[in-house]
Chain A
Amino acid sequence: MAKTHVTMKVNGAEVEGLVEPRTLLVHFIRENLALTGTHIGCETTHCGACTVDIDGMSVKSCTMFAVQAQGSDIMTIEGVANADGSLSALQEGFRMMHGLQCGFCTPGMILRAQRLLKENPSPTEAEIRMGISGNICRCTGYQNIVKAIQYAAAKINGVEFQEAAE
């Protein structure tokens, strides 16, 4: 199958590559760009481990072709740290609140949570749970992931994080 030349912006840098039409965006990101933080956890678009941010949307990059991302602006987990290299509020939240165990789901969780907080900077617990309902975690039971997102929301809004009473 003839290959197509694609260009896009990934984590602020212009990138390019040659892809077959059937190359999924997640494979382009992992194999052509060697950005292996974006994970593949299923074959049915259910797990969310491959979630990246594209043009202001959370997208499961296993269900879009790389050719379709021509010209778009993408952020992966490799691009979420602050410009000075320090951890973003969400990364810090996941670390402080133990929002991960094996870490496999974490890149997708953080990218999804980042977009959620852009759309809704002060989500309720229920809104957080609905907001990450496309991301499966096999380890944590979600409780600490929710706390991590609440921690980040508090930090972004400049208020003190209060852990809800159990």
Chain B
Amino acid sequence: MIPGPFSYHRPATVADAVKLLSTLGDEVRALAGGHSLVPMMKLRLATPEHLVDLHGVAGLKGISRKGNTVVIGAMTTQHELLASDEIGKSLPILHETALLIADPQVRYRGTIGGNVANGDPGNDMPALMMTLGASYRLEGASGARDVAATEFYQGAYFTSLEPGELLTSISIPVPAAGHGYAYEKLKRKVGDYATAAAAVVLTMADGKVATCAIGLTNLSETPLLATDAAKAVIGTSLDPATLKKAAAAAVAIMSPAADARGPVEYRKHVGGIMVMRALSRAAAGAR
């Protein structure tokens, strides 16, 4: 379990980190919490020649609210998200989801930036970020750009990060006051990746769904936004027939891989159930 050899770099600023990432060639990787990358290196599934450790970079941490947007630095850990009053108040679904990621030790080290940048279909944050309409700030040698979470994921471990670019922060619009939310995750045991998971954020008016967004985790090679399923529930009171219709619309866009968590049909089936559970619980919590 010893990783292959590499050179270790510890820049102090974003500019220096970007410079290292863009000048050290193809085999350079950013090192955030290391809780996806280091296990891969131990198994020699990843063999970077250079690691650029982001732990010394000032300004990549922290949670702040700017008007109706919460901005989270890439190096903010899951543990820090869980401890944050701001997150508990304005983005309770982020708190709920962070608590379902791995175990306490992993949450002390794992970062939100690493979780969304990793591109693993099993990561929980990406589908949630799509559901919340988040955007990512990417900084490279030629400047900064903002990419919507919905545009970022292109395939398994394949994102729109260009070589040399660093994800520096995540901006999340605060959902409407009184919104209902739920992240329903089916897993084999505490700390496991999702067999299937669904994120729902919705608002209700006069007992009917007014707005709704649904995201899906580990049900395709990228996180998915189930837009047809969300459309199907708008204007309804989420009666059983509507829930079934929404689940069917969500299942129609799922294409999970068969793995140790189950065959394709099973994962799609429970994916639909996660959508129904998340919708019901979100509606029950909406005010």
Contacts and interface: CB of A to CB of B under 8 A. Distances in A.
Nearest to A54: B108
B104 A43 contact: no
Interface residues of A, number: 31
Contacts of A60: 105-106, 109
Given A1-B5, A58-B104, 7 more contacts: A22-B41, A45-B35, A57-B79, A63-B34, A133-B104, A133-B190, A134-B191
Contact of B39 (A45, A67, A112, A133): A45
B102 interface: yes
Q: What size tier do the contact residues of chain B reach?
A: 20 to 34
Contacts of A134: 102-106, 191
B282 to A, nearest CB: 23
B104 A45 contact: no
Contacts of B3: 22, 24
Interface of B: 1-8, 34-35, 38-39, 41-43, 51, 53, 55, 79, 102-106, 108-109, 190-191
Contact of B109 (A21, A22, A63, A130): A63
Interface in A117-164: 130-131, 133-135
Nearest to B77: A57
Contacts of A46: 191
Contacts of A1: 5-7
Interface string A4-31: 1000000000000000111010010000
A22 B5 contact: yes
B104 to A, nearest CB: 6
19 contacts: A1-B7, A4-B8, A20-B5, A21-B5, A43-B43, A48-B105, A57-B109, A59-B108, A60-B106, A63-B34, A63-B35, A65-B8, A68-B53, A130-B190, A131-B104, A133-B104, A134-B102, A134-B104, A134-B106
B190 A63 contact: no
Interface in A22-55: 22, 24, 27, 40, 43-46, 48, 51
Contact of B2 (A27, A57, A58, A63): A27
Nearest to B4: A22
A29 B40 CA distance: 22
B109 A64 contact: yes
A61 to B, nearest CB: 10
A62 interface: yes
A64 B190 contact: no
Nearest to A130: B190
A64 B191 contact: no
Contacts of A24: 1-3, 38, 42
B7 A63 contact: no
B142 to A, nearest CB: 29
Contacts of A44: 39, 42-43
A113 to B, nearest CB: 11
B8 A21 contact: yes
B104 A112 contact: yes
A51 B103 CA distance: 12
